[in-house]
Structure 1
């Protein structure tokens, strides 16, 4: 049997070993060109499969976020430039008051007011600031605040002889005495969100069709108030030295109840001095959804904010340009545009909006309500009176303004981020030539 061990003078794997050692030496020796540039050894292999998946997902998500953010800035800047000429127009009468818009904001269902304020700052404010127009806020923190504010404003205009109570009314009285001319033309209202729009329409009807005096309080509430007053007076007689309590912040005034209901619209008479056309309005989108189960919907909306910025910018530009029309009516659905505006937002509201609130019961277990239940405007359909609906106007941008806005080119420097802007500034600094100093001697 032959010996499998080869002779010591003739190694079997000498040639392959030498080839492998030469390849390893070449791989370990850096390229002279890379070595002169200071580049270290290049990796010998690609990352693992898991790392490749991680880099692909992270890079794709980062690219989508960066692209959407840049295009959102571009859309907002384009509409801001479309209305910027309004800020440069000369003033015909320096004593005349400028045009002032009214912004209606309210906490979305299930969330706070800060979310609505951030939405205004991100999408609406840049276009308004570029137009040079003035605006004021009407904000609500709970359901019914906007309805009460709109109705009260209208009732104050229906009472010309009423004594000025608010700060704005006192200022208006001073301006009237000084013969300061008012703005001649449409001012405009911007209503953010479907929930705010429902209260805005309800407030218009309550202000113009409702009475000027508040409705009488129900009997159970009066009895409870009288009992509380009696208990308080008896307590003062018994206690000689009341305990000192720490100072508390003043509570917000209670929300006034509605002066009428939707069932009272047909039987209500119009005021004598009602205007033929109301101030135009514009409902603005406010997509807002909560819940862990809606994470993918929120992510999809977050990656497509550029479309929302373009739609909102178009609506706000229409308000600034002050071109209005009547609200249309859908013949197929037998519903008007006021009823269907932003209706798609209702499916995103929390379930608690649609639940019926039971009246509070007394401590003894009786079902007598201690206070009338608040009106659920968000969960109720929009009820219109034809006399009020025909006087409402909506802002709409003209086709020539849309074509002019599409031709606007936004500079890249206005929408680029911090990294690209820093690199651009560094490049310009590097290629710039220093200006000659006159004090230097000529060579």
Structure 2
């Protein structure tokens, strides 16, 4: 039986003719023999499509070369020939990131604030100097031998600040340049302790009163050209002025006025007064048990040896030699220095002064006008924000110094009002914790010092009395501490402690400015309203 004949495939559908103008279209395929469809017949290899023309074909550009850059137009075309890179000419800026925006904003704000503040400082200083420099070009009375106008500047120590010169530096920075431009001299007394201004003013006024009463000799005057008489010196002082830097200086100055003019005319020296208190406090005296031991040794000593020690022949004179102790009892042969009773001398001089001389003079002598210069010192970790704010507001201090200098130079004065006693009160709140604890800190330091001083005094006494030899350390350094050295060391410490204790009672925030009703209309101050400026 023969195989059935296969059915011939159906003819393929006719292919549409190619579109006219279709470059590169494939020609129509011929029908498949037997009418089989392409899907049912093995596909013939397709003819490769013609390759796309290379870039720049027909334009004279070699194959593989980069496409030509778009030509620049306008000013960029001109700048391109100057050598500027094309990347610079076509640069398109964009905003930086958020973090960079924050950084540049803060930096720009801080820089602008600082620049503006310092620019205002320069402007104020320049305008003030141009205003007052005409005073410095005026001829000096007396010619080349004349004495210029002079002011006295008091700068008290700020509580809690170890820098005792900070108030005077404030004056040098904010007021001094204008005084120099105006040809005005200045004197800066030092105030190393609290209360130093009070003690110095008190001593000066007391000396003036005692000289006027004949209790003290008047310093001799040299009869030379240019040397002023006492009356001329007094007139120059009244023409000058007094600058008080800060509220603490005002408190100390007014307290000095009260003690000097309202007190008596007895002789007074603060250091001698402190020395008199320290003289008989028993710190350098031998203890009772040591004195008992000395008395027992005196009973046991040989009379012949005692006679030999106390004999005038031992020294060739009328006094025994203290440099050759015998038997460890050298202190017995030391001559006793004469003791002068300071209190009795003072009592005798006081009793000789008539009582009515102690009465304050009426009316009170004229005083130089006072300039009140604001001042504050930020000290301590908690005041760092105030320090930063103050650093960016320098112009306010420059303006205050300018106003004060103009009032001082132009001598615009007015009577002192009770409201002026509130000067700079708000700045007292910036006293730090160390300032308010000053009495407690001094008491602790004094106790620690005296605890350590007792054995040192004992060792020094034993060496001077011949009861011990030099230690190895003393032999090495070649120095032995003497009792006189310890007394001098203790005196310096007590002067500082006592001075600060007394002074703090004057300047502490709870203490008001000293005032007496008899001073009404007596004191004058420079009027700052006439030297006001403008600060933006």
**TM-score, reference length from structure 2:** 0.54
In the alignment, which of 390, 399, 403 is matched to residue 314 of structure 1? Answer: 403
Q: What's the secondary structure of 2:371's corresponding residue? A: strand
RMSD, aligned α-carbons: 4.2
Q: Is the contact made by 1:80 and 1:128 (CA closer than 8 Å) also made in structure 2?
A: no
Instruction: Please show how residues 350-369 of structure 1 align to structure 2 within 5 Å.
Output: 350-355=432-437, 357-358=439-440, 359=443, 360=446, 363=451
For residue 224 of structure 1, what is the aligned residue in structure 2? 281
**Quick one: which of 252, 277, 286 aligns to 1:199?**
252
User: Are residues 1:341 and 2:423 paired?
Assistant: yes
List per-residue Cα deviations over 1:349-388 (Å, max 9, x = no partner): 1123333625555659xxxxx8865342111222211223
Task: Using the TM superposition, give the Cα deviation of residue 134 of structure 1 relative to its aligned residue in structure 2, in angstroms.
Answer: 1.0
* TM-score, normalising length: structure 1: 0.64
Q: For 2:284, what is the secondary structure of its paired residue?
A: helix
Distance of 2:51 and 2:166 partners within structure 1: 83
1:328 alignment counterpart: 417
Q: Which residue of 2 aligns with 1:64?
A: 113
Q: Which runs of 5+ in 2 are unaligned?
A: 1-47, 53-65, 291-320, 329-357, 453-493
The alpha-carbon distance between structure 1 residues 294 and 86, as it changes in their structure 2 partners (threshold 3 A), is same
3-state DSSP class of the match of 1:70?
helix
- Match of 2:190, SS state, is strand
Equivalent positions of 1:412-423 (< 5 A) are none
Equivalent of residue 387 in structure 1, options 518, 521, 525: 518
- Residue 102 of structure 1, aligned match among 152, 172, 177: 152
Q: Distance in 1 between matches of 2:93 and 2:282?
A: 85
Instruction: Look up the match of 1:93.
Output: 142
Q: Distance in 2 between matches of 1:297 and 1:145?
A: 28
SS state at 2:175 partner:
helix
Retained in 1: the 8 A contact 2:141–2:147? Answer: no
1:8 shift after superposition: 10
Cα pair distance change 1:102/1:217, threshold 3 Å: closer
CA contact (8 A) 1:321 1:397 kept: no
Alpha-carbon distance change, 49 to 220 in structure 1, aligned in 2, over 3 angstroms: same
- The counterpart of 1:127, out of the listed 170, 178, 197, is 178
Q: Which residue of 2 aligns with 1:152?
A: 203
- 2:310 — aligned with what? none
Unaligned runs of 5+ in 1: 1-6, 12-20, 240-267, 330-335, 365-369, 407-443
Distance 1:396 1:363, change over 3 A: same
**Following TM superposition, by how much is the alpha carbon of 1:38 offset from its aligned partner in structure 2, in angstroms?**
4.5
Q: Would the aligned equivalents of 1:283 and 1:342 in 2 still touch at CA under 8 Å?
A: no
Alignment of 1:197-276 (within 5 A): 197-212=250-265, 213-214=267-268, 221-224=278-281, 227=284, 269-271=359-361, 274-275=364-365
Evaluate the alpha carbon distance shift between residue 64 and residue 148 of structure 1 in structure 2; reply closer, same or farther with a 3 A threshold. same
Q: Distance in 1 between matches of 2:170 and 2:437?
A: 27
Query: In the alignment, is residue 286 of structure 1 matched against residue 368 of structure 2?
Result: no
Residue number among 96, 105, 122 corresponding to 1:47 in the alignment: 96
Deviation at 1:128, TM superposition (A): 1.0
Give the total of aligned pairs. Answer: 340
C-alpha change, 1:398 and 1:306, in structure 2 (3 Å) is closer
| Deviation of 1:34 (Å) | 4.8
After superposition, the Cα gap between the structure-2 partners of 1:97 and 1:219, relative to the gap in structure 1 and judged at 3 Å, is closer
Other structure's SS at 1:121 match: helix
Which whole-Å CA distance do the structure 1 matches of 2:400 and 2:324 have between them?
Answer: 65
Structure possessing the higher relative contact order (Cα contacts under 8 Å, 6 or more residues apart)? 1
Distance in 2, Cα, partners of 1:8 & 1:316: 99
